[in-house]
Chains A and B, each alone.
Chain A
């Protein structure tokens, strides 16, 4: 209480900055006057009386100082003083300060950006849903270890039995064809359980959400909830949207409400626009038995833990429930267990891949920041030594060690926090860069990343940590200073600064690791752009169609594809046309399939697998993949030919030891096929991948309800075909939209999107780091040289050539640099071999990066060394 009152009073002084030194001065004057009178009475001479009074009073200045210390908040006043001083100092060295602040800002900005991505995936997996990280995935697990999803009936059983989870919700993703005949649009939606919105704790922007009873009886409630964006773009945000009809998969649904602004569904990072009760499934997807078939595992389940319940309890309950289901329904459920998973462990979606990739990126970037810190420490150390005299004066005038340390610290902290502030700004920009991500594959994707309190705190923490790291050395250095030494005209016996050299070595080592990482990354990205995919993407237009909403069967699917190809081939400008189920270089990869082939006996356990793609005749012509042996598939309407397959070279090499493949039988789940051709290897999943075995199936034998149209035309002319292709499809079925239209080059670019972001980061950061390393080395060497001016003068006077002097200086410094570089190089090599390329060493990178780094380092040594060697020996000896 007392101390609080005292603090408030002090604070008052501090805030109002009342300068009433006047009061104390008057009091002291009065005091001395009274004492002098007293002394006069005691018989002293006037002069002596005053002298005695002064003696009795003690040091006036010391009293004043104590008084001031009592009055305000000296700690904060000192700090502010330090900061003012720091600001002055920084203004006196704008160049150095700019280098430091900018390099820190970039280091911190990049780290903060990456953290904001990571935290989005970890903590905000469901935008607009509060407490989203409390939601857990409820995933049935098949015997093979995969997660096949849950069936609707399973969901109903689990919902009743999992008491540790509040309101388990179910949803599945469906592409809808929305709109009137002839102008339908493919839009992604989710079929959801009745408790979906209430369990997520959402409030509608307008209207209402789906009620639980609306998802009870199949097909009775044709209602739909639309996303905020959809409302804005299709209904212009009008409140009359509620109650209007929307034609979805040729059924009329009534819009009942609009989801909150940022809500994008429950499968990050996909963005959904429509939500329909799951009980509408049979009405919208003709022929599905999703609601009654226990083997149709189409739904994903999530649930939030009840307060007090643990994940372990939920897991136990879930396992018990799944075991019970396996006993009750052995046909559909035997062998199926279940796992409770966190969102980032989601078996579907890119979370897992993103998290591990981002973790690596974050690690590299933290190393980069550490290198920046090392560099800054070195610059500061070099600067600190030029300030020895200033500090010596301060110590001589009575500044304590701690005051010196806090002075240096506050200077560096100011720099660091400036850097952090700028870094946070950069991070804001960096996170929005990810927000504008386009559709990836055919899926609409939205990352709602943002800089929030946590990331901001991270930025400031990083800044403070950096400040501490790089002020430690200079602060200690200056605080240990002996004022006598410092004031003496210095530099007669320059102390060799071990700290500086070690820092220089460390910095070069860190720079080496980061630069190699950057180079490896860029190299893989560059090779991705330049490697020959072994097919010809130029001049190919891609577009997709989907019959799944049209109640197709095998015959109608085959017939549709056949007619589509015929019509497309007849278009002017089209050189070749084909349909395939998969497009190479897709973000999610091409599925593989297990098989057995005649003439191969597998010795080890497991199954042979190969990339599988189902294509129409003409595919190889469109893709410009030559058939090395055999012929193309039989025409679509050919009913006589037996089931056919075409394999690639790698398949023949790996599974048939290069023996003749034509005519051999291939057995897959789809049945028995005859190999009729061998195609050249091409790239399937990623540029630079090792050759993969592949099997092409014929659309004629295994028709699909979805297809990717491939059209070859004159290169550069692809997009001109878009409207004609659309017209063809509309002619064949007015309810079908043509979607995901893109040239093959766009397709490739888009799928490199996630790799392009870090690649761009490294393009900026690599040279920056190299520049910083050069500045750091330059500063250290030129400082060391400046302190040895006299020594160098003596050498020159005794006849050393300047070349020798230069060589010696370079040799001395390069020794440390090479050590640091070598350690960094080995570290990078170890990481690369063990973690990234798995044994393959990218020689150009591992030779080129050190060469460049050492070249730059040598240059940074050479410039100051050369300057030193040019000095006039006489001038140097007279120096100081």
Chain B
């Protein structure tokens, strides 16, 4: 989700990512926003994203995260994976009893 958000919106700070995830999920995913930061760190260590200091909308120092080339590749791979998984699950839900008999 983090990767996709960054992919769509470009470089963004932590709060922005959290807001965005909240908005897209329609407030259905109301996790603690704090848990986002360890995830960001992990992605950065893996090289999927990079970060640097920048100025936020109200001109305060904020850390901006952006997708790296590695991250883009990872996003593609994961998107494909997910689509596959989703497709399989879909088929299960669409299958009706008479199809099987």
Q: Does A566 contact B (CB under 8 A)?
A: no
Q: Does A63 contact B (CB under 8 A)?
A: yes
Contact indicator B18/A5 (Cβ below 8 Å):
no
A770-821 at interface with B (beta carbon < 8 Å): none
Contacting residue for A69 out of B16, B34, B38, CB 8 A = B38
B23-53 at interface with A (beta carbon < 8 Å): 31-35, 37-38, 41-42, 45-47
Set of chain B residues within 8 Å of A57, measured between Cβ atoms:
32-34
CB distance from B75 to the nearest CB of A (A): 14
Set of chain B residues within 8 Å of A731, measured between Cβ atoms:
none
Task: Report if A34-B56 is in contact (Cβ < 8 Å); known contacts: A63-B37, A66-B35, A67-B38.
Answer: yes
CB distance from A35 to the nearest CB of B (A): 6
Q: Does A37 contact B (CB under 8 A)?
A: yes
Contact indicator A70/B61 (Cβ below 8 Å):
no
Contact indicator B37/A59 (Cβ below 8 Å):
no
CB distance from A748 to the nearest CB of B (A): 74
Contact indicator B60/A30 (Cβ below 8 Å):
yes
Q: Does A536 contact B (CB under 8 A)?
A: no
Set of chain A residues within 8 Å of B16, measured between Cβ atoms:
34
Q: Does A496 contact B (CB under 8 A)?
A: no
State A9–B43 Cα separation when bound (angstroms). 11
Set of chain B residues within 8 Å of A24, measured between Cβ atoms:
37
Contact indicator A26/B34 (Cβ below 8 Å):
no
Contact size range, A: 20 to 34
Contact indicator B62/A27 (Cβ below 8 Å):
yes
Interface string of A276-287 (1 = CB under 8 A from B): 000000000000
Set of chain B residues within 8 Å of A63, measured between Cβ atoms:
32, 34-35, 37-38
Contact indicator B46/A27 (Cβ below 8 Å):
no
Q: Does A28 contact B (CB under 8 A)?
A: yes
Most buried by B among A23, A28, A30, A58: A30
CB distance from A484 to the nearest CB of B (A): 30
Contacting residue for B63 out of A23, A37, A67, A71, CB 8 A = A23
A25-75 at interface with B (beta carbon < 8 Å): 26-28, 30-31, 33-35, 37-38, 56-60, 62-63, 66-67, 69-71
CB distance from A132 to the nearest CB of B (A): 51
Task: Report if A31-B15 is in contact (Cβ < 8 Å); known contacts: A57-B34, A58-B35.
Answer: yes
Contact indicator B33/A31 (Cβ below 8 Å):
yes
Q: Does A92 contact B (CB under 8 A)?
A: no
CB distance from B65 to the nearest CB of A (A): 10
Contact indicator B32/A30 (Cβ below 8 Å):
no
Contact indicator B45/A5 (Cβ below 8 Å):
yes
State A35–B31 Cα separation when bound (angstroms). 15
Q: Does B14 contact A (CB under 8 A)?
A: yes
Q: Does B4 contact A (CB under 8 A)?
A: no
Q: Does B72 contact A (CB under 8 A)?
A: no
Apart from A27-B37, A30-B56, A33-B60, what are 10 other A-B pairs with CB-CB below 8 Å? A2-B46, A6-B42, A30-B61, A31-B15, A57-B32, A58-B32, A66-B34, A66-B35, A67-B38, A70-B42
Q: Can you sample 26 A-B contacts with CB below 8 Å?
A: A2-B47, A5-B46, A6-B45, A6-B46, A9-B45, A27-B37, A31-B15, A31-B33, A33-B58, A34-B16, A35-B15, A37-B58, A56-B32, A56-B33, A58-B31, A58-B33, A60-B34, A62-B34, A63-B32, A63-B34, A63-B35, A63-B37, A63-B38, A67-B38, A70-B41, A71-B45
